Amino acid sequence: GNSVTQMEGPVTLSEEAFLTINCTYTATGYPSLFWYVQYPGEGLQLLLKATKADDKGSNKGFEATYRKETTSFHLEKGSVQVSDSAVYFCALNNQGGKLIFGQGTELSVKP
Amino acid sequence: ETGVTQTPRHLVMGMTNKKSLKCEQHLGHNAMYWYKQSAKKPLELMFVYSLEERVENNSVPSRFSPECPNSSHLFLHLHTLQPEDSALYLCASSPRDRDNSPLHFGNGTRLTVT
């Protein structure tokens, strides 16, 4: 079946550090891949997405590239800010299927 | 403003109470969802409605009863809950069910069962 695995948190970084949150998936066919972000006290928001192999999704300085050969969709940001502190969810959606979420990775950025 | 509004934001209820969670979307979407978010567990999809018809029920106990009177409103009726039902309940919507369009989430209702 389809599944998503994320690196466990919490991840604690200093401001301006480089961020990587790993995400790998198992799926049949060619799913679309997503990163959602949940800020404290809020629901999830779509951060970025990629719909086919080698696509790069980007938003707010975050990037993720759909790597079919390694079944990965790692989230990266070159310089994190305190305001990026949140929980990040990787997710996949197969056409005709439901959205499958990873367990979430908490990011804490210290000044 | 997320386009999906959930009320109340917080709810404390005893195990013998009956309460309802409300979700409203003004995005013109045809599909609506209830998710349960518990600490240190993946998001659990509870129910899916498409064009006001329930299309998915993921083995949710009968003490949770959804209602979708129209494509803009979704309710979750609660009765005789257990302490382990304490969680953040998230409502979401999307243009259609079972396609690759992203979900739009509300801010959730934080439920505590005492």
Q: Determine whether the interchain pair A43/B41 forms a contact, defined as Cβ–Cβ distance below 8 Å.
A: no
Q: CA nearest A4 in B: which residue? A: B42
Share of chain B above pLDDT 70, in %: 96
Show the tokens assigned to A72. 């990965």
pLDDT at position A104, please?
94
pLDDT band, residue B58 (cuts 50/70/90): confident
Query: Taking residues B20-39, what's their average pLDDT?
Result: 94
Q: Name the β-bridge partners of A86.
A: A107
pLDDT at position B40, please?
76
The most confident of A92-96, B41-45, B68-72, B73-77, by mean pLDDT: B73-77
pLDDT at position B59, please?
84
Say if residue B18's pLDDT is above 80. yes
Please give the mean pLDDT across all residues of chain A: 93
Say if residue B105's pLDDT is above 80. yes
Say if residue B54's pLDDT is above 90. no
Name the nearest CA neighbour of A8 among A24, A29, A30.
A24
Of the candidates A34, A97, A103, the beta carbon closest to that of B102 is on: A34
Please tell me the distance from the alpha carbon of residue B65 to that of residue B79, in angstroms, as a whole number: 9
pLDDT at position A95, please?
62
Do residues A83 and A94 make contact, with C-beta atoms less than 8 angstroms apart? Answer: no
Of the candidates A42, A49, A97, the beta carbon closest to that of B107 is on: A42
Do residues B92 and B102 make contact, with C-beta atoms less than 8 angstroms apart? Answer: no
Query: Taking residues A18-46, what's their average pLDDT?
Result: 93
CB contacts of A96 in chain B (<8 Å) are 98-99
pLDDT band, residue B41 (cuts 50/70/90): confident
Please tell me the distance from the alpha carbon of residue A84 to that of residue A16, in angstroms, as a whole number: 11
Q: Name the β-bridge partners of B104.
A: B93
Do residues A23 and A90 make contact, with C-beta atoms less than 8 angstroms apart? Answer: yes
**Residue B90, min C-alpha distance to chain A (Å):** 7
DSSP designation for A41: T
Map residue A82 onto helix, strand or coil.
helix
DSSP designation for B101: P
